[in-house]
């Protein structure tokens, strides 16, 4: 039986090793906030904002601020995990990735 086929898409996205559990939690939080921002943005007409759009615009602003904070926290945690030796850099032909030292799962791409 192929274990990878038994995993849910979320389990496949994040490393499940204990030292990186906070990183996975922060990644899920950022992904959820990004989806929320995308959802709200789809309803806003930023070229012609009316008074009826005011509350949704405020909600979008707040979600964007939360997303900004969540992304900063995520990358702070990546830096921390890298410094603690839980992540390793792997060079590929077109990119450099950060991978979990325990299981080898790709965590993020370094631009």
Query: Stretch 13-29: mean pLDDT, rounded?
Result: 87
Assess if residue 75 is contained within a domain.
yes
pLDDT digits 0-9 by tens, 45-88: 778 888 878 888 999 999 999 999 999 999 999 999 989 999 98
Angle made by CA atoms 65, 69, 70, in degrees to the nearest 5: 115
**Residue 13: its pLDDT value, please?**
66
Q: Give the three-state DSSP class for 99.
A: strand
Asked if residues 101 and 18 have their Cβ atoms less than 8 Å apart, the reply is: no
Domain count, the chain: 1
68 in Cβ contact with 59 (< 8 Å):
no
pLDDT band at 110 (very low <50, low <70, confident <90, very high): low
In a domain, residue 67? The reply is yes
Is 2 exposed, middle or buried (CB count within 10 Å of its CB: 0-12, 13-18, 19+)?
Answer: exposed
Q: What is the pTM of this model?
A: 0.76
* Domain assignment present for 98: no
The mean pLDDT of the chain is 84
Residue 20 in domain: yes
**CB 100, CB 17: distance < 8 Å:** yes
The verdict on residue 61 lying in a domain is: yes
What is the extent of the structural domain holding 46?
15-85
């Amino acid at each position: 039986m192929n274990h990878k086929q038994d995993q849910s898409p979320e389990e496949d996205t994040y490393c499940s090793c204990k030292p990186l559990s906070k990183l996975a939690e922060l990644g899920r939080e950022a992904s959820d906030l990004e989806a929320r921002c995308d959802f709200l943005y789809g309803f806003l007409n930023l070229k012609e904002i009316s008074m009826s759009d005011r509350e949704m615009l405020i909600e979008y602003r707040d979600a964007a601020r939360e997303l900004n904070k969540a992304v900063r926290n995520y990358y702070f945690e990546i830096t921390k995990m890298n410094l603690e030796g839980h992540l390793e850099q792997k060079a590929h032909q077109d990119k450099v990735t950060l991978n979990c030292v325990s299981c080898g799962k790709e965590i993020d791409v370094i631009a």
